[in-house]
Amino acid sequence: MHLYQKRGVSAQKEEVHAAVQNLSQGLYTHAFCKVYPDHLAGDADFVNVMHADGAGTKSILAYLYWKETGDISVWRGIAQDAVVMNLDDLLCIGVFKDIVFNSTIDRNKHLIPGEVLKAIIDGTNELFADLSTRGITISYLGGETADVGDVVRTIAVNGTMAARWRKDRLITNDRICPGLVIVGFSSAGQSTYESEYNSGIGSNGLTSARHDMLSSIYGKKYPESFDPNLPSDVVYIGRHALTDPISVGDQLIPAGKLVLSPTRTYAPLVKAMLTEHFDAIKGMIHCSGGGQTKCLKYLPSAMKIVKDNFFDIPPVFDLIQEASGATLHEMIQVFNMGCRLEVYTDEQHADSLIQIARAFNIEARVIGRVEPATEKSVEIYIREQRICHKL
């Protein structure tokens, strides 16, 4: 059994999908988020969308880093993670403004003081204020902050987003078909709207990253940071300290901060693409849970996705793979590997989308194409390795 499963998590969420298989899929079966008729106003030209997600176990890594260094700013990054994991899913169906957000924060009050709550809430407000200057309007409607130490060992930071949107401005993925190319957008680097280098990690696979990279000293010092039912051979089995300097280009970045890089939002980029080239965008995929195999779930019919011009892998993923001993096949099912957004378009429009990304200092390229097939599959070429995965 792979370490990921032994820690009680799943890259493909098979049991979750089985549990919800009888729920309605909404109006558009292959859209990245569920879309429903406009129950709020009853207008046939509009739809309602709602999405829930969060920072996941990245909040535990923030807890460790804050306890070890006193750097409370890491919690503002967790606020961004909880927002972006919702926002960037909505972007993939075309929604980028007039959104409402409610946060849900569950904490163990004995371990998480009010100053941490304030940092998370202030960080959320600051992110929304910055996004509003870029035309991404999100209203913060509050939410629930609960002291549930019997349920949560440290803290869980989640949120829900909702919007009412024009039906004729939706991206439903129903137009993905053979013959299209795939434009990929890097998750790493420093965009024009980021204040520092982003490792590209996002908010997926952090259970694996934390335990595989970090030394056993953290398990001994912070037993509240992991499930006591886990076998000892999967708990903090790495060699790194949180403050170990990692060379990234001409910078030295602490290992903990590298893995804590706030999830990059593509909202300014996607807003520009949707505004200027809506009709050219046939589909969008947020490569979050499921990594580079995520696309298979949203294909409207049998076809093969070939990604044979992938980005150079950012250093954080090399660090995780080296620490875990995971194969590339395992890595692509868990991590975005440096590309967290895919846009499916005609070949003649690809360069226009790439030029928009460059204006934001986001690396973009045609990473692959869609081919006819008798089943849904993805074929990825990374570092001279060919990796195949079927739905």
Report the amino acid identity of residue 212: D
Contacts of 294 (CB under 8 A, 6+ apart): 285, 286, 287, 288
* Helical segments of 11-133, H only: 14-19, 58-69, 74-91, 114-132
Q: Among residues 218, 238, 259, which one ends one of the domains? A: 259
Q: Are residues 61 and 145 in the same domain?
A: yes
Q: Among residues 259, 277, 292, which one ends one of the domains? A: 259
In a domain, 305, yes or no: yes
pLDDT at 17: 55
Tell me, what CATH number does 115's domain have?
3.30.1330.10
Cα 244–chain centre separation: 25
Residue corresponding to tokens 């970045």? 253
**What is the number of structural domains in the chain?**
2
Angle of the 267-277 helix axis to the 74-91 helix axis, nearest 10: 20
The predicted model scores a pTM of 0.94
pLDDT at 1: 38
Per-residue pLDDT of the chain (391 residues; tens, 9 = 90+): 366 566 666 555 566 657 667 677 899 999 999 999 999 999 999 999 999 999 999 999 999 999 999 999 999 999 999 999 999 999 999 999 999 999 999 999 999 999 999 999 999 999 999 999 999 999 999 999 999 999 999 999 999 999 999 999 999 999 999 999 999 999 999 999 999 999 999 999 999 999 999 999 999 999 999 999 999 999 999 999 999 999 998 999 999 999 999 999 999 999 999 999 999 999 999 999 999 999 999 999 999 999 999 999 999 999 999 998 999 999 999 999 999 999 999 999 999 999 999 999 999 999 999 999 999 999 999 988 999 999 8
pLDDT at 176: 98
Q: Are residues 288 and 379 in the same domain?
A: yes
In a domain, 323, yes or no: yes
Task: Give the Cα separation of 337 and 329 in Å (integer).
Answer: 11
- Beta bridge mates, 355: none
Question: Which structural domain range is residue 237 located in?
Answer: 206-259
pLDDT at 14: 65
pLDDT at 329: 94
Question: Tens digits of per-residue pLDDT, 112-156?
Answer: 999 999 999 999 999 999 999 999 999 999 999 999 999 999 999
Q: Are residues 172 and 229 in the same domain?
A: no
User: Residues 372, 10, 33, 74: is their CA dihedral positive or negative?
Assistant: negative
Contacts of 178 (CB under 8 A, 6+ apart): 303, 370, 371, 372
Other beta carbons within 10 angstroms of residue 325's beta carbon come to 10
Tokens matching residue 253? 């970045």
Q: Are residues 139 and 226 in the same domain?
A: no
In a domain, 155, yes or no: yes
Percent of the chain past pLDDT 70, that is, above it, reads 95
pLDDT at 18: 72
Contacts of 33 (CB under 8 A, 6+ apart): 49, 51, 89, 90, 92, 93
Q: Are residues 67 and 154 in the same domain?
A: yes
Q: Are residues 168 and 225 in the same domain?
A: no
pLDDT at 3: 63
Q: Are residues 106 and 211 in the same domain?
A: no
Task: Give the Cα separation of 378 and 371 in Å (integer).
Answer: 10
Round to the nearest angstrom and report the end-to-end CA distance of the chain.
20
Question: Tens digits of per-residue pLDDT, 11-59?
Answer: 555 666 576 676 778 999 999 999 999 999 999 999 999 999 999 999 9
Q: Are residues 318 and 339 in the same domain?
A: yes
Other beta carbons within 10 angstroms of residue 51's beta carbon come to 21
In a domain, 201, yes or no: no
Task: Give the Cα separation of 78 and 48 in Å (integer).
Answer: 27
pLDDT at 205: 92
User: Residues 273, 276, 278, 279: is their CA dihedral positive or negative?
Assistant: negative
pLDDT at 384: 86
Residue corresponding to tokens 């509009």? 46
